[in-house]
Structure 1
Amino acid sequence: MIVSHLHRFIFVAVPKTGTHSVRQALRGHMGPDDMEQARLFIEKQFPIPELARLGHGHLSFQDVRPHLGEEAFASYFKFAFVRNPFDRFISYCSFATSREGTFERDPKRVMRHFLFDAPPHNHIIFKPQFTFLCGPDGQLQADYLGKVETMQASYNEVAKRLGIATIPLDHANRSRRGDYKDYYDQELIDGVARIYARDLDLFGYDY
């Protein structure tokens, strides 16, 4: 997450949505009082002990809201990026087994493990995207949602709204794999659709 008091924005870094590329682009515009929390590639913590103790940079709007106050939270430009859950789940499987290389050897077995045998519901990267972006009432708290599928155009729109210069995004932390549709059968499609039903509905995605 990045909170910029200089440019009055809150960027929620939803896991597996190209957040490292966006962070890199935004860092050049941060002021001395701006805050970032991140763990991968760079180690940064918010000067808020309760949030720093979480140990990761994938904070939700709801996490930071009490610490900013209602006036700032309401007036700051709040944005994030989202991704097709079917594609995002493949990225999760590849990431979670990258040390062992099991996804590359037998992707469907890994997918079934995470969907049916032992779903890691409490793992921050496995969580549905809406959990980072919605309030207790289930309503979306973002003013703008970019999409990974149109990453550069979405970032250009963010930069325009913030009044900062846009730049070409780097492809940080990209995994090597094929199109997500190459990995699915109907059982796996149904499994992802069940776990990420709210994401599919809220963000307008399907298989």
Structure 2
Amino acid sequence: MILSRRHKFIFFHIPKAAGQSVANALMPFAAGPVQRMLSPLLPYRQQLKIYTKLHERTGLRTVAQPFKDHVRIDEVVDKLGQEIFDDLFSFTFVRNPWDRLFSTYSYTLSNPRHWNHSFAKSLVDFSAFAEWHCGRGNIPFQSEFVFNRSGQKLVKYVGRFETIEDSFQEICEQVGIECQLPRFNTSRNTHSYREAFTPQTRDLVHRTYAKDIEAFGYVF
């Protein structure tokens, strides 16, 4: 998550929805003095990873970025207060759940440093990964970054991964900044995600992510 009090925006980073690229582009407009001083030696992308690990392990929060990388909207509103939150331009990006899951698998499989790489590599194929993922509980719903516990939509702008370049430029115009969108953590697959799904895994994801599919109107 990226918070800029100077430009009055807050970005909710949903995993595997181009969040690394967006966060890195926005950090120069949200960084504090220490973060800017360190940036020539420690790029913002690496700083964000370090801040998140420190927050998760110690509970410490930096002044400039007081939240961990992936944080649900209820937690942010609870800590900032509704009035302060409402005064910020809040936005995020969502992604087709079928495409997002296959991207997660592809990235995990291709990145030896990923915490789940060995397990993903041990599985027979993507279908086995999808069955494990959908059956493990604690599903990371994208809608939890957009809607509060009562089902009220609090994020002002919900962009789509599928049209991210155009949406990102609209966001920049809204908050009054100029920057380009880099690309990080892209999966290496070159074929459509649809080719990876069987009818069974397609329906499994539909049942598992029905909440997101309904909220954002996605189809396979």
Same fold (TM over 0.5): yes
Structure 2 CA distance for aligned equivalents of residues 51 and 94 of structure 1 = 32
Contact 1:60–1:131 at 8 Å: present in 2 too? Answer: yes
Q: Match for residue 114 of structure 1? A: 133
- Is structure 2 residue 51 aligned with structure 1 residue 44? yes
- Is structure 2 residue 207 aligned with structure 1 residue 188? no
- Is structure 2 residue 32 aligned with structure 1 residue 32? yes
Matches within 5 A, 1:68-87: 68-87=80-99
Give the 3-state SS of the residue equivalent to 1:42 in structure 2: helix
Matches within 5 A, 1:121-160: 121-122=137-138, 126-160=139-173
Instruction: Please report how far the alpha carbon of residue 56 of structure 1 lies from its aligned counterpart in structure 2 after TM superposition.
Output: 4.8
Give the 3-state SS of the residue equivalent to 2:10 in structure 1: strand
Q: Tell me: CA distance 1:157–1:142, structure 2 relative to 1, closer, same or farther (3 Å).
A: same
Structure 2 CA distance for aligned equivalents of residues 186 and 40 of structure 1 = 41
Task: Name the structure where helix makes up a greater proportion of residues.
Answer: 2
Structure 2 CA distance for aligned equivalents of residues 76 and 7 of structure 1 = 9
Q: Match for residue 57 of structure 1? A: 69
Structure 2 CA distance for aligned equivalents of residues 142 and 160 of structure 1 = 17
Higher deviation after alignment, 78-87 or 67-76: 67-76
Q: Match for residue 200 of structure 1? A: 213
Structure 2: tracts of 5 or more residues without a match? 36-43, 62-66, 111-116
Structure 1: tracts of 5 or more residues without a match? none
Structure 2 CA distance for aligned equivalents of residues 34 and 137 of structure 1 = 38
Structure 2 CA distance for aligned equivalents of residues 104 and 152 of structure 1 = 34
Give the 3-state SS of the residue equivalent to 1:146 in structure 2: strand
TM value normalised by structure 2:
0.78
| RMSD of aligned alpha carbons | 3.0
Structure 2 CA distance for aligned equivalents of residues 40 and 188 of structure 1 = 37
Number of aligned pairs? 197
Aligned sequence identity (%): 31
Q: Residue by residue, what CA displacement relative to the aligned partner does 1:7-46 show, whole Å, maximum 9, x if unpaired?
A: 11111101110000001110121253899x9888731259
Give the 3-state SS of the residue equivalent to 2:204 in structure 1: helix
Q: Residue by residue, what CA displacement relative to the aligned partner does 1:38-82 show, whole Å, maximum 9, x if unpaired?
A: 8887312598x7575xx9510122111122122111111110000
Q: Match for residue 13 of structure 2? A: 13
Counterpart residue identity of residue 83, structure 1: R
